[in-house]
Structure 1
Amino acid sequence: MRPIVGYIKPYIPRMGVGIFFKFVGTIMELMIPWILSYILDYVVPQKNTRLVLFWGLLMVLSAIAALVGNILANRISASVARDTTRTLRHDLFKKISYLSSAQIDYFSIPSLEARLTTDSYNINQVIGMMQRLGIRAPILLIGGIAITMTLEPVLTWTMISVLPFIALVVWLVSRKGIPMYTDLQRGVDIMVRTVRENISGIRVIKALSKTEQEKEHFSQVNRDVVRRETKASVTMGITNPMMNLFLNVGLTLVIVVGAFRINAGKTQPGTIIAFLSYFTIILNAMLSVTRIFVMYSRASASAGRIYEVLNAPEDLTTKEEPAVEEEEHIVFDDVSFSYKGKTDNVSHISFKLKKGETLGIIGATGAGKSTIINLLMRLYERSSGSIRIGGRSVSSIPAEELHTKFGVVFQNDILFADTIRGNIDFGRNLPDEQIEKAARCAQAMEFIDGLPEKFEHMVTSRGTNLSGGQKQRVLLARALAGNSEILILDDSSSALDYKTDSMLRKALREEYSGVTTIVIAQRVSSILHADHILVLEEGKEIGYGTHEQLMESCEVYRQISESQMGGDFG
């Protein structure tokens, strides 16, 4: 919990006000049994009705003050917990947004989602509880013991004798409980991942009639989470019955010792009644401490997980590297990279592009096509070699500047719940003419003009109310609209028919001729007229040149071309 303290500091003055009200309310609660004892032992024997009414009114006023104080304190504690968690979630979301792709792979998206939701909720709960029960319970516990000490020291020491046993139970259970909650949160990560996979792949699951299989898979994951939570809850749950046992033993001892003292005339019945009331207060305070302890254990595990993300170092820092004088716009010079740091996913890749040229990349699934794009955009750091844009190493270009150079359509890109205009503009405040030009070049105007609201048509999350081809055209328009100097199209025309694909390539040549373009494609027709074509197999370059050159020199490329187009159509 230590890293979370910094988020609480701005709200310490507000917390101070809440603690004051909680303190006043709790003290008023402690006064009620004492007043009752005084009435029974000293006021009633005087048979003075006015005094009875006076002290009775004080009891009522104390109860009202306790009620009002606790309500005000609880409202303040809730607001502090809300605001603290809001700031924490904001910073966590911001940090996640700037994590490198390698770091996201390390944490995993389901785990990051759980940390942003479940873990931050646990923090919210413990912050509110610490201000409510965390203040009230110790005051009731210490105050109750202090007042009973003035009423009847012998009985108080009898009651206190069981507290060391309770402290021992709490210490022993905490050593086992906190690691169990960390393990539980890892189980929640797995469950979140399973749910995401099932929701994302629901169409495939239904199409292949695998609903029952996935239900069983989810049941197994769910049972594992239940098992972990049960194990943690049972371990932490030992504290309640053990505390009840020790406190009830203490209560029994108090009653026995109290009976002997009353019989010996060393104490009065009213004192015993008040003492039993205080004992009940102390018992409830101890149970509250147990609740705090359980919640703190869970929140402590969550705080560690959140802090792990917040404290993640920036692993793609800008490096000082000298610029190179060269006419090429993009240069890959003997570049290798491995996702796991063991076997290279791409090895010794080299190519050069002048400004305005087009590079087509083709190869089997898993050949490393998208990896080259990730390295160019520095979403991952290359293992060796050099990648330069305009003579500058991508490692020396600040991320904000580097990413503005690209207009990108990724392989599995998404649309957001916004209008078509909003999805194309994407918060860049682009003029209408620029948006319409991009949509026209992307061949999207064909279906946009047919919509009643045209550019104001609302797109659902992930574009589920558009066809595959329509989604790809909106995504293409988004990439084109920024007038970036480098255009990257990662299998962005797979859902387009051949005619639309041909019209798109023609529009790109005419409208964006000065843009350096990299096209990753499964179709030879999409890269047929590219200035350069790179053929990959298992992360290695097996062919590089124009279509005509590759048809003569690269057997793999020729086979792909002939299987798709029936021969050389160059």
Structure 2
Amino acid sequence: MRQIFSYLKPYKWGMILGLIIKFTGTIVELALPWILSHMIDDIIPLKDINLVILWGVIMFICSVIAVTFNIIANRMASKVARNSTERIRNDLFAKMITLSENQVDQFTLPSLISRATSDTYNIHQIIGMMQRLGVRAPIILFGGIIITLTLDPVLTLVMLAVMPIIFGAIMYVSKVGVPMFTIVQKRTDDYIRVLREDVTGIRVIKALSKEKFEKNKFNEKAKAAIDEEKKAGMVMAVLNPIMSLCLNVGTVFVILAGAYRVNSGAIKPGTIIAFLTYVTLILNALLFISRLFTMYSKASSSARRITEVLNAPEELQVKHKPEGDKGFAIQFKDVNFSYNHNEENVKNVNFSIKRGETLGIIGSTGAGKSTLIKLLMRFYDVDSGAIYIDGQDIRSIETKELREKFGVVFQNDFISTDTIYENIKFGRNLEKADVEAAADYAMARDFIEGKASGFETKVAVRGADLSGGQKQRMLIARALAAHPEILILDDSSSALDYKTDAALRKNLREHFQETTTIMIAQRISSIMQADHICVLEDGEIVGYGTHEELIESCDIYNEISKSQMGE
């Protein structure tokens, strides 16, 4: 929690002021039973109505001060909790988007979503509660005990006899509760994962009539989370009955002892009334403290999960590496890579392409085509070997500088709920002419201008109101808009008809002659004009050359060509 509490530093003066206001309001609140006792025992027997009214007015003023100060302090506490949690969420999100793909795989996307939502909510709750109850409850507890000692030490000792049992229960339950809430959050990650998958694939689920199957799967994960939360809740719920039992037993003994002492003349009636009021205040303070410990157990578990992400090391650090051959725009040299470090996904990959050339990559599903792109863009680091851009090892290039060289369209790319124009521009410093020209090159202008609002047409979530071909053309326009040094098209023309695909390739040849292009495709017609074609199989290059050369030398490529082209 120490790192989370460091986010409160910018608000320390506001917190100090709020604590002073809270402290003042609580002290005034503690004075009310004593004033009542004084009125009953000392003022009323004098039978002076003016004194009674005076002390009544004092009680009223104290009540107004207590209520007003507590409201002001609570509002200030809420503001601190809101602002500090906002900073935590912003830093957490900023860290999440800079994590390497390997770290994202380790944390998992559902877990990252859970940490940015439910975990930060728990932190928000504890920051607010500690300012509201973390000051008031201890003051009432210890202040009440001090005042009751001045009223009657004997009754105070009777009341304090049950305190060790209560504090022992609080410490034990809190110690057991933190690990249990950690498990609860992990189970929450599981059902968020199922929820995310089902929402993403909702149309497929409906098309295959698998609603019941997915509902049962979700219910299973949700039930596991509920069961763990129920276990943790049952452990934490032990506190209230124990406290209530101890405090009620203590109150009974206080009343019995007080009755004997009033009868014996040791104390006055007003004192016993005030004493019982303080006992009630102390009871409530202890209940608040138990709630605080329950929330702290949850927040402590959440803080640990949040700081795991915030403190995750930067895996993709810039490293000084020897230079390669500057005559090539892209060069893979003896590259090997494995996702799980057990089974190699890319093995001994070597190829080189010059600036302005086009490389086509083809192969069966799972052959490693997209993995090469992830390595080239340094989403992962190679296990061995090296990848060079213009003779410079990509590990020696700043990540931002490296990624700015690329224009890329992935297989399942991101479309935001915004206008077509903003989806193409994508927050970059581009002129309107660049966006419109990119739409022309991507063969997207016709369908965009066919919309009622043209480029200002709002796109539905995940582009649900666009056809597959329209999505791909809009995404290709996004990749082309900034005139990248390297253009990567990862199976991005699969939904285009042959005529549009051919026109797109023609535009790339005519208007992006200096752009180095890598095309991953399932159709040979999309890459047969490429300067080089790489055939992958099980992560290895089994063929490399032009279309004509591979027809003669690579059996796998020849089979694909025959099946698709009828040659």
Please indicate, yes or no, whether the TM-score normalized by the shorter chain is above 0.5. yes
Post-superposition Cα deviations, 1:249-270, rounded to whole Å, max 9, x if no partner, equal 1111111221222222211111
1:111 & 1:308 partners in 2: Cα distance? 12
Which residues of 2 match residues 137-536 of structure 1 at below 5 A? Answer: 137-536=137-536
**Does the Cα contact within 8 Å between 2:332 and 2:388 map onto a contact in 1?**
yes
The one-letter amino acid of 1:549's match is E
Letter of the 1:137 counterpart? A
Q: CA deviation at 1:301?
A: 0.5
Q: Deviations over 1:402-421 (max 9, x none)?
A: 01110100111021112111
> Does 2:30 correspond to 1:30?
yes
CA displacement at 1:130 relative to structure 2: 0.4
CA deviations over 1:441-494 (Å, ceiling 9, x no partner): 111012112122211111123111211110100000000111111000000001
Q: Deviations over 1:78-107 (max 9, x none)?
A: 000011011111111111111111111111
Alpha-carbon distance, 1:217 to partner = 0.8
After superposition, residues 76-87 of structure 1 pair within 5 angstroms as 76-87=76-87
SS of match in other structure, 2:121: helix
Q: Which moved more, 1:507-516 or 1:451-460?
A: 451-460
Which amino acid counterpart does residue 301 of structure 1 have in structure 2?
S
AA aligned to 1:533 is: I
Aligned to 1:14: 14
| Matches of 1:105 and 1:463, distance apart in 2 | 26
Aligned to 1:46: 46
Q: Aligned pair count? A: 567
Q: Give 1:322 shift.
A: 2.7
2:356 touches 2:517 (CA, 8 Å); kept in 1? yes
Q: What is the correspondence of 1:542-557 to structure 2 with a 5 Å cutoff?
A: 542-557=542-557
Tell me, in whole angstroms, the C-alpha distance in 1 between the residues paired with 2:165 and 2:441: 77
CA deviation after TM superposition for structure 1 residue 437, in Å: 1.7
Which amino acid is the alignment partner of residue 536 of structure 2? L
C-alpha separation in 2, matches of 1:173 and 1:432: 62
Kindly tell me: are residues 503 and 547 of structure 1, through their superposed partners in 2, closer, same or farther at Cα, counting changes over 3 Å? same
Q: Secondary structure at the match of 2:534?
A: strand
RMSD across aligned positions (CA):
0.9
Counterpart amino acid of residue 560 in structure 2: I
The superposition leaves residues 272-293 of structure 1 with CA deviations (integer Å, 9 ceiling, x where unpaired) of 1110000000000000001111
| Secondary structure in structure 1 of the residue aligned to 2:387 | strand
Deviation at 1:325, TM superposition (A): 4.1
Q: Is the 8 A contact 2:122 2:302 kept in 1?
A: yes
Aligned partners of 1:461, 1:314: CA distance in 2, in Å? 32
CA distance in 2, matches of 1:127, 1:347: 51
How far has the Cα of 1:439 moved from its partner? 0.8
Secondary structure of the 1:83 match is helix
Name the counterpart of 1:59. 59
Inter-partner Cα distance in structure 1 for 2:180 and 2:326: 58
Larger deviation, residues 283-292 vs 504-513 = 504-513
> For residues 234 and 470 of structure 1, what CA distance do their matches in structure 2 show?
54
Q: TM-score, normalised by structure 2?
A: 0.99
Residues 318-345 of structure 1, C-alpha deviations (whole Å, 9 max, x = no match)? 0011323431111001100011111111
One-letter amino acid of the counterpart of residue 307, structure 2: Y
The AA in structure 2 aligned to 1:161 is A
Distance 2:449 2:510 in 1: 22
1:58 CA displacement: 0.9
Alignment correspondent of 1:71? 71
Could you tell me how far apart the structure 2 residues matched to 1:30 and 1:327 are? 82
In structure 2, relative to structure 1, the CA distance for the partners of 1:541 and 1:324 (3 Å cut) is: closer
Distance 2:372 2:71 in 1: 60
SS of equivalent to 2:253? helix
Q: Distance in 1 between matches of 2:351 and 2:223?
A: 52
The Cα of 1:173 is off from its aligned counterpart by 0.8
Q: For 2:120 and 2:158, how far apart are their aligned partners in 1?
A: 42
Question: Could you report, residue by residue, the CA deviation over 1:53-75 in whole angstroms, capped at 9, with x for unpaired residues?
Answer: 11111111111010100010011
1:122 deviation in Å?
Answer: 0.7
Paired with 2:233 and 2:176, the residues of 1 have a C-alpha distance of 11
Letter in 2 for 1:554: C
CA distance in structure 1 between the partners assigned to 2:200 and 2:462 by the alignment: 10
% same residue: 55
* CA distance in structure 1 between the aligned counterparts of 2:341 and 2:163, rounded to whole angstroms: 55
Q: Report the Cα distance in structure 1 between the residues aligned to 2:509 and 2:224, rounded to whole angstroms.
A: 56
Q: 1: CA distance between counterparts of 2:123 and 2:112?
A: 15
| 2:299 counterpart letter in structure 1 | A
Deviations 1:332-360 (A, max 9, x none): 01100011111111100000001111111
Q: Which amino acid aligns with 2:457?
A: H
1:314 is paired with a residue of what secondary structure?
coil
Shift of 1:40: 0.9
Deviation at 1:181, TM superposition (A): 0.6
User: 1:290-321: CA deviations, max 9, x gaps?
Assistant: 11110111011111110000000100000011
Task: For 1:269 and 1:207, locate their aligned partners in 2 and report how far apart those are by CA, in whole Å.
Answer: 78
Q: 2:326–2:392: 8 Å Cα contact kept in structure 1?
A: no
Q: Distance in 2 between matches of 1:434 and 1:72?
A: 53
* Separation in 1, partners of 2:196, 2:225: 16
C-alpha distance in 2, partners of 1:20/1:152?
29
- Specify the alignment match of 1:103 in structure 2: 103
Cα distance in 2 for residues equivalent to 1:62 and 1:425? 61
Alpha-carbon distance in 1 for matches of 2:194, 2:61: 56
Which residue is equivalent to 2:112? 112
* Cα drift, residue 551 of structure 1: 1.1
Partner SS for 2:517: strand
Contact conserved, 2:325 with 2:391, CA < 8 A, in 1?
Answer: yes
> SS in structure 1 opposite 2:255?
helix
Q: Deviations over 1:176-197 (max 9, x none)?
A: 1010111101111111111111
Q: Which of 402-411 and 544-553 deviates more?
A: 544-553
Are the aligned partners of 2:330 and 2:390 in contact in 1 as well (CA < 8 Å)? Answer: yes
Distance across 2 between alignment mates of 1:70 and 1:172: 31
How far apart are 1:222 and its partner, in Å? 1.1
Q: What amino acid sits opposite 2:561 in the alignment?
A: S
